[in-house]
Amino acid sequence: MALFRYAKRPLKIFLYNSFSTGTNHTNGYSTWVSRGSPISQSSDIKGLFTIKYGNPKPVFGLISRQFSDQAPAGTEQMNLIKQLRERTSAPIKDVKLALVDCNWDIEAAQKELRKRGKVLASKKSSRTATEGLLALAQSEGKAAVIELNCETDFVARNEIFQHLALSLAKQALLVENISQQSSGLYPVGADYLQDLQLNLEHPKINGEMTVHNAITEVAAMMGENVKLRRGFVMSASLPGVVSTYLHTSPQPGLGRIAGILTLEVEDKISQLDALQRVGSELAMHVVAAKPLFLTKELVSSDALANEREILKSQAESTGKSQMAVEKMVEGRLRKYYEEVVLMEQKFIMNDSLTIKTLVDNLAKEVGSAVKIGSFFRMEVGEGIQRLESSNDVEPVAQAA
């Protein structure tokens, strides 16, 4: 038995040396000691063995607790990852990395993600953003539309992106400018809006911040370039109305193509509902028919000269006389007016009527002269590719 007892002793010493390289335990508590400390520093080796190995459970319990103090349990980690992802919509890989770097402090990790996201957003700002949405906000006699771009249709369907677009339109509607004193269409550029305060009320992004910072935050969340490209405000002289229509609309106030126009009356009328009904139909017509000018008189001389030259070349290729060529050109110009002039176009809902006839009939119905004051058509991404290949000024959407 004695021989067996002494045979076990080297194993105890081996186990003791293994554990003592990291910790020294006294009365059930652990303190860190330097690796390689001689065993002779202990006053009673036998007592240490008794403490260490007489009841091994507390020792391993302490080691287990030391490990668990460094990071939450697996279930808790998953919950933190889920919570942070819900808060930020950041990629799950980035969420986990931020939590690990911040010792699983969710608030610190969220702040770190925002910091990293802003850097990523600035790096992505040079990438082409041709997708996105138009957002529309409207009040009595006034409407505002903005274009918010992103890189993919997937982001355009995101509720955070859509919330931002609607908030920007509402902010544009509040802009104080000349449009409050007179009717017409007025640009509200991104440069003008970016320093204004925006109040967001989405669960994942809320609070008051500048337009610029809000766009940067959403770009960081989406992982794409997000850009406020342009905005316009249209107002009508009272008692007129502003009528709007949005095509491909995922929810009220959003769409990919917008048609806006004003209907103006000379006298105060009681049949505003008729004015609004026809106005909405005309706004839909603007989206579908893509008019470029309100009347023939407003067709630009450059556009007319260019079209006349094309038509003349086509007519001369038939080999007919000069007089016949001139008649052919004039006849085809009438067709051109019907295609690009709003008042000359056939109404899309009833092609037996021109827009001019439709407006005249409305005037008879309401008992006052009615006219279209101005109109505007806007589509997501129009002109962006052309801008990339040249230094031309960005085009304004078709307007009267």
**Looking at residues 5-25, what average pLDDT do you find?**
46
Residue 242 is predicted with a pLDDT of 94
Q: Percent of the chain beyond pLDDT 70?
A: 74
Rounded distance between C-alpha atoms, residue 199 and residue 164, angstroms: 10
Question: What percentage of the chain has pLDDT greater than the value 90?
Answer: 42
Q: Output 139 or 118, whichever has higher pLDDT.
A: 139
Q: Cα separation of 248 and 3, whole Å?
A: 91
- Looking at residue 125, its pLDDT comes to 67
- pLDDT tier at 15, thresholds 50, 70, 90: very low
Query: What pLDDT sits at residue 165?
Result: 97
User: What is the reported pLDDT for 266?
Assistant: 85
Res 220: pLDDT? 86
How sure is the predictor about 191, in pLDDT bands with cuts at 50, 70 and 90?
A: confident
Selection from 232, 246, 239, 253 nearest residue 140 by Cα: 239
346-347 vs 350-354, strand pairing mode = antiparallel
**Which of 121-125, 317-321, 342-346, 392-396 is predicted with the least confidence, judged by mean pLDDT?**
392-396
| Residues 46, 65: Cα–Cα separation, whole Å | 26
By C-alpha distance, which of 244, 238, 67 is closest to 144? 244
pLDDT tens-digit series, residues 77-128: 888 888 887 777 777 888 889 899 999 998 888 888 877 765 566 666 667 7
Residue with tokens 């992982």: 223
- d(CA 359, CA 263) in angstroms, rounded, equals 9
Read off the pLDDT of each residue in 222-250 and give the average, rounded to a whole number.
91
Q: What is the pLDDT of residues 17-46, one digit of tens each?
A: 444 444 444 444 343 444 444 444 444 444
Task: Name the residue type at position 197.
Answer: Q
Higher pLDDT, 115 or 390: 115
Look up residue 295 and give its amino acid: T
Tell which residue, 88, 103, 314, has the closest CA to residue 223.
Answer: 88
| Backbone angles phi and psi of 126, in degrees to 5 | -85, -10
Residue 107: CB partners within 8 Å, gap ≥ 6?
none
**pLDDT for 110:** 82
The mean per-residue pLDDT over the stretch 372-379 comes to: 95
Residue 323 banded pLDDT, cuts 50, 70, 90: confident
Residues 6+ apart with CB under 8 A from 99: 77, 80, 81, 84, 105, 106, 109
Straight-line distance from the first to the last Cα atom of the chain, in angstroms, rounded to the nearest whole number: 110
pLDDT of residue 118: 59
Neighbouring residues of 198: CB distance < 8 A, sequence distance ≥ 6: 167, 168, 171, 208, 209, 210, 211, 214
Give the pLDDT mean for 174-199: 79
CB contact at 8 A, 283 and 261: yes
Please report, as a single letter, which amino acid is at residue 85: R
168 touches 135 (CB < 8 A) = yes
Q: Is the pLDDT of residue 163 over 80?
A: yes
pLDDT of 12 higher than 80: no
Contact (Cβ atoms closer than 8 angstroms) between residue 167 and residue 200? yes
pLDDT band per the 50, 70, 90 thresholds, residue 240: confident
Residue 385 has what pLDDT? 65
CA proximity to 125, closest of 228, 230, 229, 225: 225
> In terms of pLDDT, which residue wins out, 395 or 187?
187
Whether 142 has a pLDDT exceeding 80, the answer reads yes
Mean confidence (pLDDT) of the chain: 79
